[in-house]
Chains A and B, each alone.
Chain A
Amino acid sequence: MPANRTGPTGSSPAAGALAAVAILGFAGGLLVSSFAGFRDFLPELLRGAATTVQVAAGGSLVAVVAALLATTARLYAPLPLRWLAVAYVELFRGTSALVQLFWLFFVLPMLGISLSPMTAGIAALGLNIGAYGSEVMRGAIEAVPRGQWEAASALNLGRFRTLRRIVLPQAFVAMIPPWGNLFIELLKATSLVSLITLSDLAFKAQQLNQTTLRTVEIFGIVLLIYLALSLLVTLAMRALERRAGRRLLRGKEAR
């Protein structure tokens, strides 16, 4: 899973690239919509896109929860739990998302646990991204200066309260950009669920391609839909970052 994207933080070259992509996307959209008969397959593709969004949203939720649990276990739990968390992270970062997906979908039924394609897709992608996310969270929490802990303990704050009121709010701001990248990775990875028969955007594209054979138009539109969804995620995360950053700043000013 590629990760080191330059964050969606608002550096000006990134903003320039974003604008360029928006223009490119718009031009591409005009071009594509000028293809005759594209109305025939657009509704079908949009239905697929709805499934894609559903998987991405479910996966994001699973990813955040899994990352939170793994990070907490890794940093604050007793040893056996800590090992479990490390094993989870290494296992899911060390193997392919597709292999994990197939494992959940094809192997688990043999062990007596049958998952629907939707559940398997959300679980596999969520756990995969969650493993990467756990490293992001750990990095962000460990990056909060030790002095913050010491100052809080000098003020007689408990360990848990320090974590919740002092450390996590600061770590939260730092982890928004990498999480933005991970959500985009997740969104892109949802295309894999088409391979376990879930009729998402990629699946519909394949299906339409086989019936209409208008490959370039169909996959062109599909690429643009994914691009638009990615841009949405980027914009949403940027807005969140701005808000969170502002709140942190207000706290500083109040002092």
Chain B
Amino acid sequence: MNAHWDWNYVHEILPILGEAALITLQATLLGFALALVIGLVLAVCRMAANPLVRHAAAAVVEFIRSTPLLIQIFFLYYGLPEFGLALDAMLAGLIAIGLHYGAYCAEVYRAGIDNVPRGQWEAAAALNLPPQATFRRIILPQAIPPIVPALGNYLVALFKETPLLSAIGVLELMQTAKILGSESFQYTEPITLVGLYFLVFSLLASALIRLLERRLGVRAAPRS
């Protein structure tokens, strides 16, 4: 065991962690793409005319947001095989992350869509556009740009939750760092490096979001 910082060891593990970082990035981007789609579906369901659909969507969103992502990951990874649907760890993790952040994104979409003036719907109706086309061609293009920064904040949040995938053995950064640590009994370097990696990327992403905010001329809700 070594209490000091060992640069040789750092050089040795850096390429391994670099590869794992790619998996983390992959999980982040795929998970977020999934969250964006699921979020939109949930948001549309929450505004459906049918009260049953509306309340069911609201309950699903509230339920997902009120329970820990880790348990949801376990539930999907260990539970789905009982229904004859065995997923590999990465896929189960991605679906869990997509669902979890989809529920958060649904609220953001809803805020965006609610903010489009009612007159837009009425004008489209007056021009004889069917509701579906109105939603897709008129409402969404106006609803999305203002919420881009808020969605960006969730991208950063999602990125920071990908280490949870290590709990079901996905070989992303955290899991790799843990394995490296248990092999050499030197936890200091791998875990600190993982922390630095997250810090650098989060700060970069925050700066990017701020830039985007300025470009779009909108302000995100503060990261509370």
Instruction: Say yes or no: is B174 at the interface (Cβ < 8 Å to chain A).
Output: yes
CB contacts (< 8 Å) of A70 on chain B: these are: none
Instruction: Say yes or no: is A4 at the interface (Cβ < 8 Å to chain B).
Output: yes
Q: Do residues A17 and B58 form an inter-chain contact, with CB atoms below 8 A?
A: yes
Instruction: Say yes or no: is A198 at the interface (Cβ < 8 Å to chain B).
Output: no
CB contacts (< 8 Å) of A1 on chain B: these are: 157, 160-161
CB contacts (< 8 Å) of A17 on chain B: these are: 58-59, 61-62
Q: Pick the contact of A194 from B70, B101, B104, B192 — CB < 8 Å?
A: B70
**Residue of B61, B66, B71, B74 most packed against chain A (CB within 10 A):** B66
A93 to chain B, nearest CB (A): 7
Q: Do residues A209 and B78 form an inter-chain contact, with CB atoms below 8 A?
A: yes
What number of A residues sit within 8 Å (CB to CB) of B?
A: 61
A247 to chain B, nearest CB (A): 24
Instruction: Say yes or no: is B75 at the interface (Cβ < 8 Å to chain A).
Output: yes
CB contacts (< 8 Å) of A139 on chain B: these are: 222, 224
Query: In the complex, A244 Cα to B162 Cα: how many Å?
Result: 38
What interface size band does chain B fall in? Answer: 35 or more
CB contacts (< 8 Å) of A192 on chain B: these are: 70, 164
Instruction: Say yes or no: is A32 at the interface (Cβ < 8 Å to chain B).
Output: no
CB contacts (< 8 Å) of B215 on chain A: these are: none
- Given known pairs A4-B221, A202-B70, the reply for A13 and B58 (CB within 8 Å) is yes
Q: Do residues A100 and B68 form an inter-chain contact, with CB atoms below 8 A?
A: no
CB contacts (< 8 Å) of B104 on chain A: these are: 2, 4-5
Q: Do residues B82 and A96 form an inter-chain contact, with CB atoms below 8 A?
A: no
Query: In the complex, A97 Cα to B223 Cα: how many Å?
Result: 16
CB contacts (< 8 Å) of A195 on chain B: these are: 166-167
A200 to chain B, nearest CB (A): 10
Query: In the complex, A23 Cα to B62 Cα: how many Å?
Result: 12
Query: In the complex, A165 Cα to B154 Cα: how many Å?
Result: 37
Q: Do residues B67 and A230 form an inter-chain contact, with CB atoms below 8 A?
A: yes
Q: Do residues B163 and A99 form an inter-chain contact, with CB atoms below 8 A?
A: yes
Which residues of A138-195 are within 8 A (CB) of B? 139, 178, 181-182, 184, 188-192, 194-195
Instruction: Say yes or no: is B34 at the interface (Cβ < 8 Å to chain A).
Output: no
